[in-house]
């Protein structure tokens, strides 16, 4: 079961103190989808790994509400003009929280890889929220960001390239763009850097290209 706990946070943008729910422990007994979306038995932990300030909409993980947060005047301005109006309409869903966190990460000029991860999680939340249209929207945005990170010289660790190339293919497949998916699955072979350790990625790419499955295992 997923265990949640109430925590107290202080917003580095508008200084308001607020309470949020955080994940103490979770499980992966719900299986793993072929886009690496791990599901828990019981409550899904994802929406509780990102926190949103109800006052201004600033969003991020717990550490983004500590001294470590990189909050520039420009970031504050963008949060106030673009996120605050959304936050004022009421509590955000999991996918909306991740979308806000992805915007914050982008405004902080964080690596595309980091922004892509947040967008992917927004898509995963949409699956649980039953919003197919929004799910596709976030899958496309995540795919583009992962592509951007793969294109940059050191945006992705060598040993991660094959897995992320596979993931981009799988994201396109799940948006219904089989031609694009195939192009990316076909590239996985060349990106493998440890044939023994990454044979599973080659197998997964072949599987998803020829006879796709929704779940691993
Ligand atoms: Zn705030």
The per-residue pLDDT for range 29-67, each reduced to its tens digit, is 999 999 999 999 999 999 999 999 999 999 999 999 999
Share of the chain above pLDDT 70, in %: 100
Are residue 80 and residue 144 in the same domain, yes or no?
Answer: yes
Contact call for residues 59 and 100 (beta carbons, < 8 A): yes
162 and 152 housed in the same domain:
no
**3-state percent breakdown (helix, strand, coil) of the chain, nearest 5:** 55, 10, 35
- The contacts of residue 158 (CB under 8 Å, 6+ apart) are 193
Distance 4 CA to ligand 1 centre (A): 22
- pTM score: 0.96
CA of residue 51 to ligand 1 center, whole Å: 11
Co-location of 119 and 21 in the same domain: yes
Residues 173 and 210 in one domain: yes
Residue 9 pairs with which residues in a beta bridge? Answer: 18
* pLDDT value of residue 203: 97
- The answer on 210 and 126 residing in a single domain is no
Q: What is the pLDDT at residue 63?
A: 96
User: Ligand 1 centroid vs 60 CA: distance in angstroms?
Assistant: 11
Q: Ligand 1 mean position to 87 CA, how many Å? A: 10
65 & 148 share domain: yes
Centre of ligand 1 from the C-alpha of residue 11, in Å: 5
- Å from CA of 65 to ligand 1 middle: 10
Query: Does residue 152 sit in the same domain as residue 162?
Result: no
Strand locations in 14-170 (E): 17-25, 51-52, 59-60
* Whether residue 185 sits in one domain with residue 134: no
Residue range of the domain that includes 11: 3-156
pLDDT band of 154, cuts 50, 70, 90: confident
Neighbours of ion ligand 1 (CB under 5 A): 11, 13-14, 53, 55-56, 58
CA of 139 to the centre of ligand 1 (A): 28
Planar angle of CA 156, 161, 166, nearest 5 degrees? 130
The whole-angstrom separation of Cα 166 and Cα 206 is: 10
Going from the Cα of 163 to the center of ligand 1, the distance in angstroms, rounded, reads 36
d(CA 207, CA 213): 7
Residues 110 and 11 in one domain: yes
Q: How far is the CA of 169 from the centre of ligand 1 (A)?
A: 37
Is 95 in the same domain as 195? Answer: no
Distance 164 CA to ligand 1 centre (A): 33
**Co-location of 140 and 82 in the same domain:** yes
* CB-count exposure of residue 7 (10 Å: 0-12, 13-18, 19+): middle
Domain count of the chain? Answer: 2
pLDDT tier at 153, thresholds 50, 70, 90: confident
86 and 60 assigned to the same domain: yes
Asked whether the beta carbons of 50 and 59 are under 8 A apart, the reply is: yes
């Amino acid at each position: 079961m997923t265990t949640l706990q109430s925590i107290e946070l202080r917003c580095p943008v508008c200084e308001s103190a607020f309470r949020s729910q955080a994940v103490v422990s979770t499980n992966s007994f719900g299986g793993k989808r072929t886009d690496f979306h791990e599901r828990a038995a019981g409550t899904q932990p994802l929406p509780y790994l990102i926190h949103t300030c109800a006052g201004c909409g600033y969003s991020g993980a717990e550490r983004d509400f500590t001294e470590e947060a990189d909050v520039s005047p420009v970031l504050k301005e963008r949060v106030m003009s673009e996120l605050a109006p959304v936050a004022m309409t009421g509590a955000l869903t999991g996918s909306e929280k991740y979308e806000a966190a992805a915007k914050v990460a982008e405004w902080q000029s964080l690596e595309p890889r980091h922004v892509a991860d947040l967008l992917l999680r927004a898509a995963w939340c949409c699956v649980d929220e039953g919003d197919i249209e929004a799910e596709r929207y976030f899958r496309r945005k995540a795919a583009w960001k992962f592509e951007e990170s793969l294109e940059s010289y050191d945006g992705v660790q060598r040993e991660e390239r094959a897995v992320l190339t596979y993931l981009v293919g799988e994201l396109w497949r799940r948006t219904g763009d089989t031609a694009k998916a195939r192009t990316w699955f076909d590239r996985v072979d060349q990106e493998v850097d440890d044939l023994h350790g990454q044979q599973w990625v080659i197998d997964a790419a072949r599987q998803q290209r020829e006879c796709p499955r929704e779940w691993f295992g």
